[in-house]
Structure 1
């Protein structure tokens, strides 16, 4: 009896409840398991990085979260995709140079998720 592989699990982080709902729906329709959180600090808690944090982290940008994940020996292999409503080439380039796999401009569409899923699965 063969067992089906578990669907990939995605942690979606966004301070907007609407954007979290949209990305969650899109990912689930692509057969992903999704956990959503509203801040970088909560993301670090889910990823178990807060135990190593002595900085307080009251607020954290997506870029800060990306850097923390990519600096962690345990987490650096996790693919990180950035999303923003700002289409800033400088910001996009900076995130990609820091290790993000991709950068999506909001509003994210199903075509973005499908393209990204096929790319990440074939890595």
Structure 2
């Protein structure tokens, strides 16, 4: 089976044998969309995990790797943009919202403004301690309105990563 991605890149679908048992039961007929490299070989989907907290970044990275995804973990939105410029097979970005220098929201805007990147799903994470006068659910809704695919509250749980990867990376 061949699937054409939104950006025009060619991908091949394959059975979800890389998914965990939990995902397999919830996505019985799902296919993993696997990017195809210039040589025609399948390339493992890459997820960029962005968080200035080394603990949160390590947690998200470990959960994604446990789900068999290749992960590039970076500590800032600026570094994520650098990776996006050099890594042609990014399938998803999971980013913290509150980071110095460039927020996850700023990263989201840059991704969605780029014709080459806008098809990449972006998931925003934040703690309950949103430093504004709005509730975390209102904050999450605003991120979704601006183009985020999903909003997660920290601490991120394994079931959150399973749900996100099933929805974003399994079609």
Q: TM-score, normalised by structure 2?
A: 0.61
Between stretches 72-81 and 89-98, larger displacement belongs to 89-98
| 3-state SS in 2 of match to 1:100 | coil
Residues 1:76 and 1:105: Cα distance change in structure 2 (over 3 Å): same
Between stretches 6-15 and 84-93, larger displacement belongs to 84-93
Larger Rg: 2
Q: Given the alignment, which residue of 136, 143, 154 partners 1:106?
A: 154
TM-superposition CA deviations, 1:72-122 (whole Å, max 9, x none): 100000010111113612221111011111111111111111111111134
Structure 1 residue 76 and structure 2 residue 76: aligned? no
| 3-state SS in 1 of match to 2:121 | coil
More helix by share: 1
> Could you say which residue in structure 2 is the equivalent of 1:115?
163
Q: How many residues align?
A: 113
Q: Structure 2: which 5+ residue stretches go unaligned? A: 1-39, 87-99, 129-134
Q: Aligned-pair distance for 1:4?
A: 8.4
Q: Structure 1: which 5+ residue stretches go unaligned? A: 50-57
Following TM superposition, the consecutive aligned residue runs of length 4 or more in structure 1 with deviations greater than 2 angstroms are 3-7
Q: TM-score, normalised by structure 1?
A: 0.83
